[in-house]
Structure 1
Amino acid sequence: MNKIILFILCGLFIKTATAQVIYEKIESSKIGESREIKIQLPRNYDPEGDVLYPLVVVLDGDYLFEPTIGNTDYHSYWGDMPKSIVVGVNQVKTRDSDLSYSDETNFPSDEGGSQFFEFIGMELIPYINENYLTSNFRIVVGHDQSANFINYWLFKDKPLFRGYIAFSPDLSPEMANRLKERLTTTTEDTFYYLATADNDVKSLRDSILAFNTILSSVENSKLHYRFDDFTDADHYSLVGLGIPKAINEIFTLFKPISRKEYKEKMLTFEGSPYDYLIKKYDDIEFFYGFEKKVVENDLKAVLAASKKKNDDESLKNLSKLARKVYPESMISAYYAGQYYDFVGNTKKALQSYQSGLLLEASEFISKDVLLDKIYDIQDQD
């Protein structure tokens, strides 16, 4: 039943995203042949724009690409992750060779693994960076053998990826202990997601549970680790369950302020609500390597918290920020009006609300909202 559900979901994802998928072949000197890739561009992607997008590289792209792009498109639509470029690498004919490792070193073998490793880092990613608008924040996704293979990039002095999504990995010998040592000393924020299921292949499940015990013991604030052990799922259906979990974990900080974050973090923050907002967005830029435009949801959260704390200075700074970020939107007029209204300057509040009537409406602020504020003030006179 889980497999049926996964296939149905994949079908829905394909239907919504196919129009944006690009199919290409890359001629590789590293592996001595061309390799098929699939590229999903974000909605409204502008090749002449100045926006940079995170890159998600999906190994086993023959079957992992479609559920991945469906989830990235869905989550980015709701603002829970940034719009991203997703690249799937087809391996159906070369999988065993691509993902092979040496029996002596347990690292990529000279019979295909090393060549594929270099193809990804020295040919595929440079090609994508040259032809598309990519940021330096990269995620890699793998399943079974490819979930083991993605770990090899962590042993580079400067790992190619910041996020690792490993679904039911078929771990090479000593990988668990080696990875523990590596992640204990990493100095860059690294996101690692691991998943298995109760009906996973038994031999894999046993090693993954032991792997989780080892990774859970790593003490390093730079490691952001999440493990899921799904019930009523098997080796294949766990992928459909794990992708949204992994996205949620990797982009927790990026997500708009939720009720939980508002109550537990913003209201208890030592500084002002405005200071909390600025720190959040500074942290986003630091963690992910790109700047996020302040979303209206977060402006609303700061407005509510500032009023609750009777913090007029925070409201003043918020109104300035709204005007800077949304100069052509009713948002700028609304937040200016909210500040003046709060400090008792009804004349300027009225002028602010009136000035917004000819501006562009937003998700939450419309002409009717501004008119209601205007009538409220006029009724007080």
Structure 2
Amino acid sequence: MKNFYLLLALFIGLNIQSQAIYKTIDSYKLDGERELKIQLPRNYNPDEKRTYPLIIVLDGDYLFEPIAGNIDYQSYWEDIPDCIVVGINQATTRENDFYYDNETFFPAHDGAAFYEFMAAELLPFIEDKYNASNFRIIVGHDLSANFINYYLFKDEPIFRAYVALSPDFATEMINRLQQRLSILNDEIFYYMATADADIKTMRASILEANTVISSIENEKFLYKFDDFEDANHYSLVGRGIPKALNQIFTLFKPINAKEYSEKVLTFEGSPYDYLVKKYEDIEHFYGFEKKLIENDIRAIAAASNKKDDLESLEKLSKLINKNFPKSMLSAYYSGMYNEKEGDLKRALQRYKAGLLLEPSQSVDKEMMLDKMYEIQEKMKR
């Protein structure tokens, strides 16, 4: 529990640089106003064409801050993309908002109104004001974690990823989920979590649901389940959120040591081809382009050198020049290519020219000077 509160404090502290914007939406469906909390990415520019994944947080009164903090922290380190986070405050309306009929077990009355509010009013409201992409995530906890499942039953679900933290399942929901998830035609990410000290009745149904859901054979259905130790109904939220984001954005993550050894080095094509495919897959899955990052550049350059793939290294250097023309990165990797092909004079020119450019996260003036001295020593031999 102590670690949970330390994490919350960390996220809240980080979130100071990404303060929430408070908006009010006037809803015809709900016959009144609703308060929203909105977090935009750092350095968000509404005039840019870039779009961002949209995360809708139910129970925003208490669930918004830990999610927004996680997003801000992980996106800062490029583990996940920058996202737009929208929380819906429901402290005084949640039982009505999540109401379902006791016979059909589908949303009814105020619950049906809230269900329609999401697609008919909230999403258009957000997308009209902000650069949100079509890759949408919805997050809920207990009652709201049950409610998010109803959006799966649309012919074309409006969300691509679902985060159900200790869901309080309605009757028939588990069977309905099994039927629906088995016939999905588009990729859907689904994360569910419970804990050893979760509410007993909820935990029992969640474990039953996991048994059913984990048996589904559908390559379009991407599922992750966690059963945390030493956590309860509330503290599991702090542990489940980063795990859920990790699941949803696995493909987006920088190339790590495991991916490098098991996928990059064993890829049938060249290392450069692997990089191109990875970024194309990201755009296909998430609906937005990923900006080329230094971590992936280093990994592909290392693989190219290990395989003595000069063509791959040349293509990589051209891609870097295109994406980072004012950075030392462009000079460093162009010089690496020239050095690899044996043109030491040109490599030296590249490294010298790089001294006038801007340092990056991994390449600075000292590194450029070291390469210059190294080349000069080689030219003396």
Which bin holds the TM-score, normalised by the shorter protein? over 0.9
Which amino acid is 2:316 matched to?
L
**Shift of residue 34 of structure 1?**
0.4
CA displacement, residues 23-44 of structure 1 (integer Å, 9 cap, x when unaligned): 1111100010101111111111
Alpha-carbon separation, structure 2, partners of 1:299 and 1:373: 18
Which amino acid is 2:21 matched to?
I
**Shift of residue 377 of structure 1?**
1.1
What SS does the corresponding residue of 2:259 show, helix, strand or coil? helix
Q: Determine the structure 2 residue equivalent to 1:162.
A: 160
Q: Determine the structure 2 residue equivalent to 1:143.
A: 141
Q: How does 1:315-354 map to 2 (within 5 A)?
A: 315-354=313-352
Q: Determine the structure 1 residue equivalent to 2:61.
A: 62
Q: Determine the structure 1 residue equivalent to 2:85.
A: 86
What SS does the corresponding residue of 1:252 show, helix, strand or coil? coil
Alpha-carbon separation, structure 1, partners of 2:13 and 2:289: 31
What SS does the corresponding residue of 1:80 show, helix, strand or coil? coil
Q: Determine the structure 2 residue equivalent to 1:25.
A: 24
What SS does the corresponding residue of 1:243 show, helix, strand or coil? helix
- The share of aligned pairs that are identical, in percent, is 59
**Shift of residue 90 of structure 1?**
0.7
**Shift of residue 48 of structure 1?**
2.1
Alpha-carbon separation, structure 2, partners of 1:334 and 1:9: 38
Which amino acid is 1:72 matched to?
I
What SS does the corresponding residue of 2:226 show, helix, strand or coil? strand
Q: Determine the structure 1 residue equivalent to 2:357.
A: 359
Alpha-carbon separation, structure 2, partners of 1:346 and 1:206: 68
Q: Identify which range, 41-50 or 23-32, moves more after superposition.
A: 41-50
Q: Identify which range, 179-188 or 253-262, moves more after superposition.
A: 179-188
Q: How does 1:85-164 map to 2 (within 5 A)?
A: 85-109=84-108, 111-164=109-162
What SS does the corresponding residue of 1:100 show, helix, strand or coil? coil
Alpha-carbon separation, structure 1, partners of 2:198 and 2:212: 19
Q: Determine the structure 2 residue equivalent to 1:189.
A: 187
CA contact (8 A) 2:14 2:73 kept: no
Alpha-carbon separation, structure 1, partners of 2:20 and 2:350: 45
Q: How does 1:285-300 map to 2 (within 5 A)?
A: 285-300=283-298
Instruction: Point out where structure 1 has 5 or more consecutive residues left out of the alignment.
Output: none
CA displacement, residues 28-85 of structure 1 (integer Å, 9 cap, x when unaligned): 0001010111111111111222221111000011110111111111110110110111
CA displacement, residues 81-127 of structure 1 (integer Å, 9 cap, x when unaligned): 10111011011101111001112221111x21110011111111110
CA contact (8 A) 2:23 2:37 kept: yes
Alpha-carbon separation, structure 2, partners of 1:126 and 1:380: 62
**Shift of residue 335 of structure 1?**
0.9
Query: Pairwise CA RMSD of aligned residues?
Result: 1.2
**Shift of residue 15 of structure 1?**
3.3
Alpha-carbon separation, structure 1, partners of 2:172 and 2:334: 60
Which amino acid is 1:53 matched to?
Y
User: TM-score, normalised to structure 2's length?
Assistant: 0.97
Give the direction of change, closer, same or farther, for the CA distance of 1:11–1:379 in structure 2 (3 Å limit). Answer: closer
CA displacement, residues 214-269 of structure 1 (integer Å, 9 cap, x when unaligned): 11111111111000000000111000010000011101110110011111111111
What SS does the corresponding residue of 2:224 show, helix, strand or coil? strand
CA displacement, residues 142-190 of structure 1 (integer Å, 9 cap, x when unaligned): 0001000000111111111111000010111111111111111111111
**Shift of residue 11 of structure 1?**
3.6
Q: Determine the structure 2 residue equivalent to 1:258.
A: 256
**Shift of residue 5 of structure 1?**
4.2
**Shift of residue 13 of structure 1?**
2.3
Q: Determine the structure 1 residue equivalent to 2:210.
A: 212
**Shift of residue 6 of structure 1?**
3.3
Q: Determine the structure 1 residue equivalent to 2:268.
A: 270
Report the number of matched residues.
378
Q: Identify which range, 94-103 or 344-353, moves more after superposition.
A: 344-353
Alpha-carbon separation, structure 1, partners of 2:225 and 2:12: 27
What SS does the corresponding residue of 2:242 show, helix, strand or coil? helix
Alpha-carbon separation, structure 2, partners of 1:181 and 1:348: 63
CA displacement, residues 326-368 of structure 1 (integer Å, 9 cap, x when unaligned): 1111111111111111111112211221222211111111122
Alpha-carbon separation, structure 2, partners of 1:48 and 1:182: 39
What SS does the corresponding residue of 1:195 show, helix, strand or coil? strand
